[in-house]
Structure 1
Amino acid sequence: MLEKTLGIVLHIIPYNDKISVAHLYTEQYGRSSYLIPQGGGKKARMFRSLFMPFSILELDIDYRNSRELQKIIEARTVLPLQNIYSDPVKNAEALFLSEVLCQTIKEPEPNLPLFAFIARSIQVLNIMEEGKANFHLCFLLQLCSFLGFSPNMETYRTGYFFDMLNGIFSPSRPIHTYTLDAREAEVFARLTRMDFNNLRHFKFNRGERNAILDRILTYYRLHQPDISELRSPEILRAIFD
């Protein structure tokens, strides 16, 4: 059945010499996979220029529920993202966040609020300048609410520990090791007040930003155990070095 949908590119995997598999998060079909040409041909070059991490595309597809890999009839760019792909920091963040999304979003059902959040975030990153080094931290913390494990900020008090396993703040140290002490918990609580409009006001040095990212990724892995080793954080660390 011929259908139209918007899709956000998450990851491309070579399938053989002529075909790759593109994993997309789509407005109408949630997480779904598509066959795209690869190689040196004209059509393959055109698809390669379109299917970059975080690209937002308008797709004409031949969609069949019984088929695991869908066919793309035509793809068009909705929003040119030259400002992301030409900026080393933004490009590294796009690679990293698309990898995180590829590992955390598995549902083949549509989730319009989540799709809208991701699409809007990409548009913000494309035009953002001040505070862009904090974009990935803010995105991950906001994504938590869509994935169902947002920290319970109603339990926060100054001097409390943060129980990462249960997503709550506690006056006493939990018996397990997945805990932030009072100082780190205070920083974590402050981070939850970040949004895309105030990122420039959060100042971190390289070591602080890397430590914050490590804590957030630990929190993600506790609540999304299927997350495997991510490659792109090392690219971020190299860029910020």
Structure 2
Amino acid sequence: MVTSTSAIVLSKIRYKDNDIIAKLYTKEYGAISFIVKGRQNSKKNKIKFVYFQELTILEIQFNYNSKRDLQYIKDIEIKHNYMSSHSDLVKASVIIFLSEVLSNIITHQKTETQLYNYIEQSLIWYDTNKFNTYFHMIFLLELTRYLGFYPDTLNNNFKYFNLEEGAYEKLKTSKYSITGGSLNLLNQILGIKFDSNPLPTLNSDDKMEVLNIILVYYKLHNNNFKPIKSLEIVK
């Protein structure tokens, strides 16, 4: 069955000598892996490896076969041409980081239109606006709304926030309960938007602390969440 869908590139790996396996997050089917044949010098080959840079937004046609682990793309085009996300080195480092996180958590063939739309719209906003140093933190916190574990902000005047339970508490009940400076940093990011004005004014150490808190939060709510190798490049 030939189907058309929007898709976002999550990752790619080399396969054999000339091919790649690309994992795409499709709007219609969720996460699907495709084998993309090489021979990139062939003028007849319309499917170029350049289409599969991290978080590129595509329109694809393919013959969907539920019995195959790897699908084959029939036709492809860029849906949104990035103006800065791949060419600006600082922006590109965030794209690489987010692609690894998303590839880590989006693993199932399941249609989740709201989740897909949030990711696509956020990536376009990031590309078409000037660099926002808090984008990846805001993006990941807002993403939890669609993943089902957004923090419960009721009682946000309480002294502790339990990362394991995703809720504020009066007393410390877990080794994953944060308080003091760490909680203050999280509170400054939680709930703000990409275009909030003014944005917080955190130094680089504070930003990294917030990001590490967010990644711990993801790990606690997703058993398959792996350490993020590209974390170093967003410091």
TM-score tier, shorter chain, comes to over 0.9
Q: CA deviation at 1:107?
A: 2.0
Partner of 1:8: 8
Mean CA deviation greater in 36-45 or 100-109:
36-45
- The count of aligned residue pairs is 234
- Structure-2 separation of matches of 1:199 and 1:41: 48
* Secondary structure at 1:32 match in 2: strand
* Secondary structure at 2:125 match in 1: helix
Check whether the contact 1:17–1:39 (CA below 8 A) recurs between aligned residues: no
Q: CA deviation at 1:42?
A: 3.8
Check whether the contact 1:39–1:45 (CA below 8 A) recurs between aligned residues: no
Structure 2 residue identity aligned to 1:15: Y
Compared with structure 1, are the counterparts of its residues 188 and 196 closer, same or farther at alpha carbon in structure 2 (3 Å cutoff)?
same
Partner of 2:135: 135
Compared with structure 1, are the counterparts of its residues 38 and 233 closer, same or farther at alpha carbon in structure 2 (3 Å cutoff)?
farther
- Structure-1 separation of matches of 2:50 and 2:58: 12
Structure 2 residue identity aligned to 1:41: N
* Secondary structure at 2:7 match in 1: strand
- Structure-1 separation of matches of 2:229 and 2:137: 17
Partner of 2:89: 88
Partner of 1:179: 177
- Structure-2 separation of matches of 1:48 and 1:125: 23
Gap runs ≥5 in structure 2: none
1:224 equivalenced with 2:225 (yes/no) = no
Percentage of pairs with the same residue? 27
1:24-173 alignment runs, 5 A limit: 24-38=24-38, 40-42=40-42, 47-129=48-130, 132-157=132-157, 159-173=158-172
Q: CA deviation at 1:155?
A: 2.6
State the Cα deviation string for residues 134-174 of structure 1 (Å, max 9, x = none): 100000000111111111001311x5101111011111111
Structure 1 residue identity aligned to 2:24: L
Check whether the contact 1:13–1:20 (CA below 8 A) recurs between aligned residues: yes
Q: CA deviation at 1:7?
A: 0.4
State the Cα deviation string for residues 24-43 of structure 1 (Å, max 9, x = none): 10011111111112365346
Check whether the contact 1:22–1:34 (CA below 8 A) recurs between aligned residues: yes
Compared with structure 1, are the counterparts of its residues 13 and 149 closer, same or farther at alpha carbon in structure 2 (3 Å cutoff)?
same
Gap runs ≥5 in structure 1: none
Deviation beyond 6 Å, 4+ runs, structure 1: none
* Secondary structure at 1:196 match in 2: coil
- Structure-2 separation of matches of 1:218 and 1:115: 23
State the Cα deviation string for residues 181-218 of structure 1 (Å, max 9, x = none): 13322321231121111176222111111111111101
- Structure-2 separation of matches of 1:103 and 1:181: 28
- Structure-1 separation of matches of 2:81 and 2:197: 23
* Secondary structure at 2:133 match in 1: helix
Structure with the higher fraction of residues in helix conformation:
1
